[in-house]
């Protein structure tokens, strides 16, 4: 069946930087369904040819040597543009007529990609409903929503309820580009496709888990937005929780969307709620030096640019195993990694090295930028008696399989095929906010733990290191280790 992808917010950065390049690459790989049309919608008064010209320029900029004039000419014949204001119902009726014209009256599956400001998500859905464009009696109709899925539990519920007035849950695709990364998907294969890892993936062998999403950049021109959001809303409720769910979930009976998402939701349901004094010691708050002088930032801002949290998942597999989640701006390097830290051997045969607790086995899953896996294990130093050292085995995805595809390629292909496995479900989104909202409230209250400062280019506040030391552990503060 033919497909049409309608992109609302077609003149925006996301469309030119990510969506069109991903669709172009899928076209060149012959992975787009036959007769896939792409229709951009925004207020700018472009013709089809003018928008194609604008996209060609941005493509040359963003994909460089991958741009091929002949391939683009062929691909662009399936690219169209319809001027329209999202606030005008009449413009949606014009869009409906244009789509009918392009599709020639044939039953055609449609994907509506909402790449607009979050404030417009509900309005787009409502307009699609009013104009009959969500009717799927003849062919599939799907809507893709970019994060953020609300700014708290209340707004997330309001967004979900607005979407449900027009679309069923099975038609709604809440996209988090982290789930499109090959390394994230490979966590499930690593666990459930091998017999050497899954038997160890529990409280009997794992001491704790660290999940880090570190950014080198400062807030820059996003100061006004970031100061209202902060790191907990910006990174924890979505990216970090997604990584935690995939790391901690049970294996589904089959690999399909509903069963995979059922198991992810169970992880959030098992997260131990914070009560009373828990909020004072559940983590560490930080703000990089100079943040309050950034453009758009309140000179007395209490907003965190660094946060570390300790979560407990109260089920049979993970009881007693803390999950340490942290994210920050202005860090030493850009890295996203999951570190599985195994327990120490029950008995030390080879001396009483005071560093032994720092030399436990580790499995490092590097999500970005150097996608791969590293195993840390003990080995003997040659010609040095029974002295031990930490050695490693490395696996790099790009060395084995060539350049890694962009996350949006996989996600857009899945949307077109109707596979929701890598997309967030409404209950998943709301459960995540139920965990984060009380922490944000506590950290904005008079009883909030101290807001520590840290130098730009460091690994965060010294208080975070001390907090881990009090628990007998240490952060894995290493820039991408896989070579």
Spatial separation of the C-alpha atoms in residues 103 and 458, rounded to whole Å? 55
Spatial separation of the C-alpha atoms in residues 468 and 483, rounded to whole Å? 28
Rg (CA), the chain: 24
Q: How far is CA 30 from CA 33, 74, 204, in A?
A: 8, 12, 46
Spatial separation of the C-alpha atoms in residues 365 and 375, rounded to whole Å? 9
Virtual torsion, Cα 386, 387, 390, 395, nearest 10 deg: -50
Burial per residue of 355-388, b for 16 or more beta-carbon CB atoms within 10 angstroms, e otherwise: eeeeebbbbbbbbbebbbbbebeeeeeeeeeeeb
Spatial separation of the C-alpha atoms in residues 113 and 124, rounded to whole Å? 10
The residues, any chain, with a CB within 8 Å of residue 207's CB and separated by 6 or more, are 321, 341, 342, 343, 344, 360, 473
Spatial separation of the C-alpha atoms in residues 32 and 416, rounded to whole Å? 8
Strands 362-368 vs 372-380: parallel, antiparallel or unpaired = antiparallel
Contact 242, 446 (CB under 8 A): no
Cα angle value 35/39/43 (rounded, 5°): 175
Burial per residue of 164-176, b for 16 or more beta-carbon CB atoms within 10 angstroms, e otherwise: eebbeeebbbbbb
Spatial separation of the C-alpha atoms in residues 152 and 156, rounded to whole Å? 6
Q: Residue with structure tokens 């209490």?
A: 302
Active site residue 483: no
Which SS3 state, helix, strand or coil, does residue 134 take?
Answer: coil
Measured between its terminal Cα atoms, the distance across the chain in Å is 44
The token pair at 455 is 């130098």
Say how many residues make up the chain.
Answer: 483
Contact 2, 36 (CB under 8 A): yes
Q: Residue with structure tokens 């290191």?
A: 465
Spatial separation of the C-alpha atoms in residues 153 and 296, rounded to whole Å? 26
Q: Which of 3, 177, 239, 376 is catalytic?
A: 239
- H or E segment to which residue 123 belongs: helix 121-130
DSSP assignment, residue 301? -
Residues marked as catalytic: 239
């Amino acid at each position: 069946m033919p497909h049409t992808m309608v992109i609302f917010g077609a003149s925006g950065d996301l469309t030119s930087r990510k969506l069109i390049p991903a669709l172009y690459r899928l076209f060149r790989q012959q992975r787009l369904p036959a007769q896939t049309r792409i229709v951009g919608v925004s207020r700018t008064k472009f013709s089809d040819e003018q928008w194609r010209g604008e996209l060609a320029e941005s493509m040359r900029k963003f994909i460089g040597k991958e741009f091929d004039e002949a391939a683009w000419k062929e691909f662009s014949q399936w690219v169209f543009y319809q001027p329209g204001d999202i606030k005008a119902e009449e413009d949606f009726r014009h869009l409906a007529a244009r789509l009918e014209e392009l599709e020639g009256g044939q039953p055609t599956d449609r994907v509506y990609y909402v790449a607009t400001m979050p404030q417009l998500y509900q309005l787009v859905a409502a307009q699609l409903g009013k104009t009959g464009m969500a009717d799927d009696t003849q062919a599939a109709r799907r809507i893709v929503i970019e994060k953020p899925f609300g700014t708290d539990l209340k707004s997330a519920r309001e967004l979900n309820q607005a979407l449900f007035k027009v679309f069923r849950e099975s038609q709604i695709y809440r996209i988090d580009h982290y789930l499109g990364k090959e390394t994230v998907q490979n966590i499930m294969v690593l666990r459930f496709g091998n017999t050497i890892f899954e038997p160890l993936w529990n409280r009997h062998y794992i001491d704790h888990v660290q999940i880090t999403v570190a950014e080198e950049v400062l807030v820059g021109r996003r100061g006004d937005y970031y100061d209202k959001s902060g790191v907990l809303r910006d990174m924890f409720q979505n990216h970090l929780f997604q990584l935690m769910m995939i790391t901690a979930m049970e294996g589904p009976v089959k690999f399909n969307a509903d069963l995979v998402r059922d198991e992810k939701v169970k992880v959030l349901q098992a997260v131990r709620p914070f009560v009373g004094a828990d909020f004072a010691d559940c983590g560490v708050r930080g703000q990089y030096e100079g943040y309050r002088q950034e453009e758009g930032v309140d000179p007395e801002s209490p907003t965190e640019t660094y946060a570390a949290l300790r979560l407990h998942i109260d089920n049979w597999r993970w009881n007693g195993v803390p999950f340490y989640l942290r994210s920050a701006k202005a860090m030493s390097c850009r890295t996203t990694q999951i570190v599985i830290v195994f327990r120490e051997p029950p008995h030390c045969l080879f001396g009483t090295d005071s560093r032994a607790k720092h030399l436990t086995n580790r499995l490092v899953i590097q999500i970005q930028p150097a996608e791969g896996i590293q195993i840390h294990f003990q080995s003997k130093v040659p010609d040095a008696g029974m002295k031990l050292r930490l050695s490693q085995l490395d696996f790099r995805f790009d060395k084995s399989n060539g350049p890694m595809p962009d996350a949006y390629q996989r996600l857009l292909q899945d949307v077109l095929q109707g596979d929701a496995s890598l997309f967030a479900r409404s209950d998943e989104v709301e459960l995540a906010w139920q965990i984060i909202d009380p922490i944000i409230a506590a950290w904005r209250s008079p009883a909030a733990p101290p807001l520590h400062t840290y130098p730009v280019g460091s690994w965060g506040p010294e208080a975070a290191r001390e907090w881990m030391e009090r628990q007998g552990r240490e952060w894995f503060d290493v820039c991408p280790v896989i070579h």
